[in-house]
Amino acid sequence: MHKKSGIALILASLLFGCASPHGEQPGETLDLGDSQRVTRLFAYPNNCSVICYRDWTLEQTVEHYLQQSLARDGYAQASVRVTRSGERVQAYFQGTPAGYGKSLLQLLDTGELAYRGASQLNLDGKWQYNWYFFLPLGMALENRKSVELLHFPPDYSLTQAQDYLRSSTTDRWAALLSYNGIPLEQTPAYQTIVDIAPIAAPASAGSTLEGVYGYFNDYQRRMVDELSAGSDNTSLPMVAFGSPVRSWIKQQYGVTLPVLGLGQINAGASRQISVLGANHPSYIWYAADPANNKGSEDAANAAGIKVMGQDLSAACWQAGMGQQPTRDAQQLLNSCTQKWQVTEKLQTCELFFTSVRNLKPEQAQAKCKAS
């Protein structure tokens, strides 16, 4: 083989995923767009205010989120390298199945709709100085089990953690999934999130954000369609968390979802998605606050235990449907509510006192047996 043709073959194997002459696993190179596009879609820099909390380059930032996706898809041995060639930003994956990058490119294309909506929001004078544009980066791109529909991500998930799944909300729900048999390390596959406002904001921003959803309608509906698509034209189950999200479902799809209410919404390709209404994962702290129960600690505990039962039932349904999306959704919901609100009511009570009141297990048991 001539020297030049050998070099050409190696370059071709890198760029187009052909098997290398040494037998390494084929790679896949994706063009993510020009640096301006990648900068806005990855909210770069994520955490700079004169001094950068993490002083990363654009390439390091993108690589960080793509490595999160690889881990959450279960490809522990895979790798990704992000480089810039002129104005083009490219990601080179190795050890992933063929076509792995398709979902990433789809997410970024849909993310353009979100950016367009956020830009219009700013032009209309409704954008706030302490909001950050933030797409759901770093989650499972391929091996998803269920979809979670939420309101907006907390600002610190972007500016501090640089991890869309790092928040008190997602941590609590992961724990509830684990109580329903999903190992903690596998819960990210169940927590693929679509926020109806792709804006990282302070926790107190909820009421302000309720007026912005219309700017993101195209983005929201396409994300629901794309992320809910399972294999063989099946649909992944979806949980709608909190009253703003359940109201959005009513407005967009005409389906009323009370807490533990089950409905069906239409997605792309004539698919139907089973959607369960649920409390916001953080609602339990509001419900169990004595100040919201006429100052009565007993009433607050009773309210908290009730919400705990609802939340465990919802997580039970999500876990079961995620493992087997074609099963009878209503039958499973009935079984889950029976388990956590009747059969295992004592355990529900104990989990409330250990996870919300932070009591030791023996203290929780004593509280629950006495009630």
Are residues 266 and 351 both part of a single domain?
yes
- Per the structure, the complete domain to which residue 17 belongs is given by 1-99
Question: Looking at 99, 120, 152, which one is the last position of a domain?
Answer: 99
Question: Looking at 44, 66, 99, which one is the last position of a domain?
Answer: 99
Q: Is the pLDDT score of 24 beyond 70?
A: no
What is the per-residue pLDDT for 115? 98
Count Cβ atoms within 10 A of the Cβ of residue 248 and give its class: 0-12 exposed, 13-18 middle, 19 or more buried.
Answer: buried
Distance of CA 127 to the CA centre of its chain: 23
Q: What is the mean pLDDT of the chain?
A: 92
Inter-residue long-range contacts of 345-350, CB under 8 Å, 24+ positions, other chains counted:
345/309, 348/305, 348/308, 348/309, 348/312, 349/305, 349/308
Are residues 226 and 154 both part of a single domain?
yes
d(CA 276, CA 210): 21
As a whole number, mean pLDDT of residues 111-138 equals 97
As a whole number, mean pLDDT of residues 135-147 equals 96
As a whole number, mean pLDDT of residues 2-23 equals 40
d(CA 29, CA 17): 7
Question: At 277, which CATH number?
Answer: 3.40.470.10
Are residues 343 and 267 both part of a single domain?
yes
Strands 262-266 and 51-52: unpaired
Are residues 2 and 83 both part of a single domain?
yes
State the pLDDT confidence band at 232, using cuts at 50, 70 and 90: confident
Q: Is the pLDDT score of 339 beyond 60?
A: yes
Are residues 209 and 357 both part of a single domain?
yes
Are residues 24 and 118 both part of a single domain?
no
Residues 6+ apart with CB under 8 A from 287: 279, 300, 303, 304, 306, 307
> For the chain, what is the domain count?
2
What is the per-residue pLDDT for 88? 98
- Structure tokens belonging to residue 252: 């967009």
| Least confident residue range of 83-87, 259-263, 266-270 | 266-270
Are residues 36 and 117 both part of a single domain?
no
d(CA 177, CA 192): 13
Are residues 136 and 67 both part of a single domain?
no
What is the per-residue pLDDT for 26? 63
Report yes or no: 310 and 317 within 8 Å, Cβ to Cβ. Answer: no
Percent of the chain with pLDDT over 70: 93
Are residues 310 and 346 both part of a single domain?
yes
> Which ranges of the chain does DSSP label H, i.e. alpha helix?
3-16, 35-41, 58-72, 101-123, 155-156, 168-179, 206-209, 217-227, 243-253, 283-287, 297-323, 329-338, 345-355, 361-370
What is the per-residue pLDDT for 25? 54
Amino acid at 191: Q
Question: Looking at 74, 99, 124, which one is the last position of a domain?
Answer: 99
The answer to whether the pTM exceeds 0.95 is no
Are residues 314 and 347 both part of a single domain?
yes
Between these two residues, 17 and 296, which has the higher pLDDT value? 296
What is the per-residue pLDDT for 362? 97
